Structure 1
């Protein structure tokens, strides 16, 4: 009996040892990999620069990047610019490797280089733009893929939450991923486009996300509903999730998509 029990135990141990790693790998495989997003902000001086940059994206960059597997590129102007509008460009990549591959491929794409020539080779006496600010973001685990809204007329709000320290920044991300904050936005009809943690860029640590509305009246109504939502009140009432501890600056920019924007 002892020998029989030993053999049974050995078989079970061997089966368990082979099954558990397989189950673990299957679970990991079922989790979709997070996308990466590049956000470029062009500072422009005049309408000539704006046209040059917009023509570059419309006629050269978007078609070339789409050919290379970039599914969505959003190009936006400010809703109420104080001066010449800044141009916001959001680029979706499948992975860091995809980002690298696209960058390398564009340098060898003769069609792209030709169509982008006026932009790429603008002289110092007549630059295409004043400056580009660029950041690279990793999508949140609870929303690993960008969700582009329909083509109906909409306005977009780009929000950034800056934190005083990296632990605080991770804690704020935890609220979105693990405590259900992203689900509240979806349930209330904000039609979120993406959430991303800035891994390279200015003003770190920060997270950035984009939500959409029909108009400014709808925006006000949605944020009012969010502030009074029972689930949000429950999450935000937890002492360790107090905004005073996790967020020290919030910026909000209202944007309008260009006619050729893919978001």
Structure 2
């Protein structure tokens, strides 16, 4: 397994809108495309309380490329993204890293 760590820094005041979009739109579309989430977190204390952090689980980088490309070009996603950003951008920055569990990790 490979895990993708993604951190979305929200435009100030827009974190609730990002979370609503994931909850009501994005997760359903990920299910449609076979994208598996491994958890979501918000920052309680630390450098940025405007962050939404999540993990995606992939069998391989090839699986990620295929499924992420299909999701990213899905007309339903493109329409929903445009609609939810009609009053302005939600995400100021996206950072992502690909992680591989160690042999002693409780997560495999």
Same-fold call, TM > 0.5?
yes
Deviation at 1:262, TM superposition (A): 2.3
The match for 2:8 among 161, 172, 197 is 161
1:212 matched to 2:57: yes
SS of aligned partner of 1:157? strand
Q: Which protein has the bigger strand share?
A: 2
1:71-82 matched pairs, under 5 angstroms: none
Gapped regions of structure 1 (runs ≥ 5):
1-153
Q: CA deviation at 1:250?
A: 0.4
Unmatched 5+ stretches in structure 2: none
Are 1:253 and 2:100 an aligned pair?
no
Of Structure 1 and Structure 2, which has the larger fraction of its residues in helix? 1
Deviations, residues 48-87 of structure 1 (Å, cap 9, x unaligned): xxxxxxxxxxxxxxxxxxxxxxxxxxxxxxxxxxxxxxxx
- 1:229-258 alpha-carbon deviations (Å, 9 max, x no partner): 2321221120x425x621111000110011
- More contact order relative to length (CA 8 Å, sep ≥ 6): 2
Deviation at 1:174, TM superposition (A): 0.9
Partners of 1:237 and 1:247 lie apart in 2 by 13
User: Are residue 173 (structure 1) and residue 19 (structure 2) matched?
Assistant: yes
Alignment of 1:57-68 (within 5 A): none
Map 1:1-263 to 2 at 5 A.
154-165=1-12, 167-178=13-24, 180-238=25-83, 240-241=84-85, 245-263=89-107
- Assess if the C-alpha contact under 8 Å between 2:42 and 2:49 holds in 1: no
- Post-superposition offset of 1:201: 2.2
Separation in 1, partners of 2:92, 2:79? 21
RMSD: 1.6
Kindly indicate whether the alpha-carbon contact (under 8 Å) linking 2:7 and 2:52 is maintained by their aligned counterparts in 1.
Answer: yes
Q: Secondary structure at 2:103's aligned position in 1?
A: coil
Q: Which runs of 4+ in 1 moved over 4 A?
A: none
1:82-115: CA deviation from partner (whole Å, max 9, x where unpaired): xxxxxxxxxxxxxxxxxxxxxxxxxxxxxxxxxx
**Separation (CA, whole Å) in 2 of partners of 1:158 and 1:186:** 18
